[in-house]
A and B are shown apart, each in its own frame.
Chain A
Amino acid sequence: MNIRRMIGKTDLDVLIRDLISAGKRVIAPVRCGDSQHEALEYAPVRSPAEIHWAGPLPLRSLKEIIFPPTETLFGWKQVKSSVEIEANPNGFRETVIIGARPCDAAAFEIVDRVMGWDYRDDLWFGRRQATTILTVACPHGDESCFCPAVGLSPESARGADWFLTPADGGFEAAILTQKGEALLEPYKAQWPEPNNFSKQQLSGLESKVRANLKVQPESIRQWLEKHFDDPLWKHVALRCHGCGACAFVCPACHCFDIVDEPEGIDRGRRRRNWDACQPALFTLHGSGHNPRKDQAARFRQRIMHKFNYYPARFGEVLCTGCGRCVRVCAAGMDLIAILAEIGRRSEEAGAAS
């Protein structure tokens, strides 16, 4: 598929208004409410004017649109000795994400692998199916970004249905999927095809963020495979408070907990909630035993899962280099520094052997 269109700013506004008036949920980066800081978040918009195209990466990733922090799996009601199940009545609402950052959009395809692996997660794929993603070329990078180190880039179209590149006061759109084409359909004839020479040269963002971290995921994986018990873990995890903030803002982390939440004596809901591997509770057994007994073991798990186990099973790392975990960590845990250190050790080991 190689459909391209030039979309003027007003044209895009029309599209967004049409979507909203058609009852679709439109998600886009907007300013955070009640925050003293210049911060963005992905949130439903009621008007195209709310959208912030430029500015830093939104605080939380797009994950919550497909995989909400909490969702009802089903409701139950007990009648004498039998139980009636009430399936989640809500279908999947048609959603269009506008202005997705490449590192967020790419994460969906990476997580698709585990969600569709031994068991197909209907909730994940149901929402995936109902959601169309319009990625925009990344307008902003900082010292925490490292998408090039994990094989992506500020212009990566992975996971996108449309990829938008700023051009001539509007965007040049590449329509990449059938879903994308369906979205374009009503406007296909009105909007012109782009002139090949009008596309803006992006600023040197890619080379800037590439300088933040230069490692090969495979070399990281090889070191990890052999260093489960390395003293490095104890050392790097010292400052970790064991909160789940890194996992909760991560576009690729997808662990969840299932709880039965009573809403009275004979009824309730089974919910699925986000979970994270850093708090001790995550692996605490009923007996009181915890196989991941300290923060070093828990932090190692986070790195191992993303950069060893996941690529070993699914062929790619569970990370899009968005850098949110680095930015959000109040204790100064720095994944870039840790990966750089592991990369260095791996190279040394490689050179020695």
Chain B
Amino acid sequence: MQELRDLARRLLRENQVNVILGYECARRGVRPAFITEAADCDRLVFDHRCVHNLAAYLSPRRTHVRALGRPAVVIKACDARAVAGLIRESQIEREETVLIGVRCGGVVLDPADSSPLSSGNIAPRCSACDQREPALFDHLVGEPKGAPAGEASRDARLSEIEAMNPEERLGLWIGLLGRCTRCHACRQICPMCFCERCIADKTQPAWIETSPHSRGNFAWHLTRALHLAGRCVDCGECERACPARIPLGLLSRKAARSVASRYGYVVTDDPAIPTPIGSFQFDDGQEFIA
């Protein structure tokens, strides 16, 4: 922790950056912090409650954060994938952002949960995560961490749904997506949903019905999952933000499974590797094409 604070202080003092995007303690657990004064750096924390993906704040669409100036951002291995995505897709310049990588042994699902990390409260993505630190960083801080608790079989539900018959699946999703009220929290918090004007907000024509009925919700969530195929960094923020507690990660992980099995593509924090949609191989599988 002290290492992180000292580094942040130095970066601010030496004018290398204007703002540190990190975490701080508040009334209800940990929350994102925006530190602009070296004197405030002691507020910075990093522990297993730091579930938020701060890369979302780097998007050019966050004009209020951008206005603070050149940022340094605290990133876990999973967050680094989002930073790589933003670089890959020309949203930020690598040189314009200082990346403070943190070693991470897993985080809880609820940042207000101060109980120790256990298989009961761990964020599901962490159980299956084998990356203790990012490969993309300028500075790396923190003690080496052990592998987090919990079972690595988080995609069991995915396989379960795949094994259902089509009617069961449709019924399941009508039930789940029927709960969506289109608050778009999933999109707003997503580090990779950075469009200036989302397709769901486009009205001429309105490909995606804005009404929160299942028909509009299917179009929205299917399209979002497609747009995130090979881009979703699996940070779980959409699911955490969803006030209707819809397991949205199932859709993006299905897309991830699809690009992995079809094109051998896995999202990494290497910005130089292109996304699978937008590239192709002459001999890509086409078993579904007559």
Q: Which residues of A does B touch, CB under 8 Å? A: 32-35, 37, 39, 59-60, 64, 69-70, 143-144, 234, 237-239, 241-245, 247-249, 257, 259, 261, 271, 273-274, 276, 279, 281, 293-296, 326, 328, 330-332, 334, 336-337
- Contact between A244 and B184, CB atoms less than 8 A apart: yes
Interface residues in B37-53 by Cβ distance below 8 A to A read 52
Out of B175, B185, B237, which one reaches A33, CB within 8 Å? Answer: B175
Please name all residues of chain A whose beta carbon is closer than 8 Å to the beta carbon of B111 when the two chains form the complex: 332
Are A69 and B212 closer than 8 Å at their CB atoms? yes
5 contacts between A and B (CB under 8 A): A69-B212, A241-B241, A242-B188, A245-B241, A295-B63
Least distance between B44 CB and chain A CB atoms (Å): 14
Report if B56 contacts A (CB, 8 A): yes
Q: How far is the CA of A125 from the CA of B61 in the complex (A)?
A: 40
Interface centre among A59, A241, A245 (most CB of B within 10 A): A241
Q: Are B183 and A273 in contact (CB under 8 A)?
A: no
- Asked if residues A243 and B181 are in contact (CB atoms below 8 Å), the reply is no
CA of A279 to CA of B186, assembled, Å: 12
Docked complex: B150-182 residues within 8 A CB-CB of A: 172, 175-176, 181-182
Residues of chain A within 8 A (CB-CB) of B245 are: 32, 35, 37, 39, 59
Q: Do A331 and B26 form a contact, CB below 8 Å, given A34-B247, A273-B211? A: no
Of residues 110 through 162 on chain B, the ones whose CB sits less than 8 Å from some CB of chain A are 111
CB <8 Å contact, B244 and A334: no
**Nearest CB of A to B20, in Å:** 12
Whether A274 and B27, one on each chain, are in contact in the complex, defined by CB atoms closer than 8 angstroms, is no
Smallest beta-carbon distance A248→chain B, Å: 4
With A274-B181, A281-B201 known as contacts, the answer to whether A261 contacts B211 (CB < 8 A) is yes
Known contacts A39-B245, A274-B181; is A241 also within 8 Å of B188 by CB? Answer: yes
Contact across chains for A331 and B31 when beta carbons are under 8 A apart: yes
Residues on A with beta carbons closer than 8 Å to the beta carbon of B240: 330
CB atoms of A241 and B189 under 8 A apart: yes
- B69 at interface, CB cutoff 8 A: no
The answer to whether residues A69 and B182 also contact, given A60-B244, A337-B27 and a CB cut-off of 8 A, is yes
Complex CA gap A276/B183 in Å reads 8
- In the complex, A261→B212 CA distance in Å? 12
Which residues of A are found within 8 Å of B188, using beta-carbon distances?
A: 241-243, 279
Q: Is the CB of B175 within 8 A of A238?
A: no
Tell me which residues across on chain A come within 8 A of B243, comparing CB atoms: 59-60, 245, 248-249, 328
> In angstroms, how far is the closest chain B Cβ from the Cβ of A313?
26
Chain B: minimal CB distance from A265 (Å): 12
Which of chain B's residues have a CB closer than 8 A to the CB of A234? 64
Q: Judge whether A238 and B34 touch: CB under 8 Å.
A: yes
Residues in B neighbouring A332, C-beta threshold 8 A:
26, 28-32, 52, 111
Which residues of A sit under 8 angstroms from B241, Cβ to Cβ? 241, 243, 245, 330
B213 at the interface (CB under 8 A from A): yes
Total number of B residues with any Cβ neighbor in A under 8 Å: 45
Residue in B closest to A247 when the chains form the complex, CB atoms: B183
Which of A39, A143, A261 is the one whose CB lies under 8 Å from B27? A143
Task: Name, among A64, A144, A261, the residue most crowded by chain B CB atoms within 10 Å (CB to CB).
Answer: A261
CA distance in complex: A259, B244 (Å): 23
Judged by a CB distance under 8 angstroms, whether B65 is at the interface is yes
Q: Are B184 and A243 in contact (CB under 8 A)?
A: yes
- The residues in B between 183 and 226 inclusive whose CB is less than 8 angstroms from any CB of A are 183-185, 187-189, 201, 206, 209-213, 216
Q: What 5 pairs across the A-B complex have the smallest Cβ distances?
A: A332-B31, A243-B188, A243-B185, A330-B241, A244-B183
Residues from chain B with Cβ under 8 Å of A334 in the complex: 26-28, 31
CB nearest to A281 among chain B residues: B201
Q: Check if A330 sits within 8 Å of B64, measured CB to CB.
A: no
A278 to B115 CA separation, bound complex (whole angstroms): 32
Most buried by B among A34, A35, A273, A330: A330
Residues on A with beta carbons closer than 8 Å to the beta carbon of B68: 238
How many angstroms from the CA of A239 to the CA of B65 in the assembled complex?
Answer: 8
Residue of B nearest to A35 (CB): B245
Within the complex, the shortest CB–CB distance from B124 to chain A, in Å, comes to 8
CA distance A328 to B241 in the complex (A): 7
Q: Which residue of A lies closest to B59 (CB)?
A: A241
Query: How far, in whole Å, are A295 and B172 apart by their CA atoms in the complex?
Result: 36
Which residues of chain B come closer than 8 Å to A60, judged between CB atoms?
181, 243-244
Q: A241-B188, A331-B32 are in contact. List 9 more A-B contacts (CB 8 A).
A: A69-B181, A70-B211, A70-B213, A143-B28, A238-B65, A245-B243, A259-B206, A274-B212, A279-B188
A259 to B65, CA, bound (A): 32
Tell me if A245 and B31 are in contact (CB < 8 A).
no
> Shortest Cβ distance from B18 into chain A, in angstroms?
13
Within the complex, what minimum Cβ distance (angstroms) separates B265 from chain A? 28
Closest to A280 in B: B61
CB distance from B271 to the nearest CB of A (A): 23
Q: B182 to A326, Cβ gap below 8 A? A: no
- A294: chain B residues at CB < 8 Å are 63-64, 67
Q: Report the bound CA distance from A178 to B209 in whole Å.
A: 41
Q: Which of B29, B31, B211 contacts A259 (CB 8 A)?
A: B211
Q: Report the minimum CB–CB distance from A213 to chain B (whole Å).
A: 10
Complex contacts, A259 vs chain B, CB 8 Å: 206, 209-211
Report the minimal beta-carbon distance from A130 to chain B, rounded to whole angstroms. 21
| B210 cross-chain contacts in A, Cβ below 8 A | 257, 259, 261, 273
How many angstroms from the CA of A238 to the CA of B3 in the assembled complex?
A: 25
Contact check: which of A144, A296, A330 meets B185 at CB < 8 Å?
A330
CB <8 Å contact, A243 and B64 = no
Q: Tell me the minimal C-beta distance from A32 to chain B in angstroms.
A: 6
B-chain residues with CB within 8 Å of residue A243 when the two chains form the complex: 183-185, 187-189, 241
Smallest beta-carbon distance B258→chain A, Å:
22
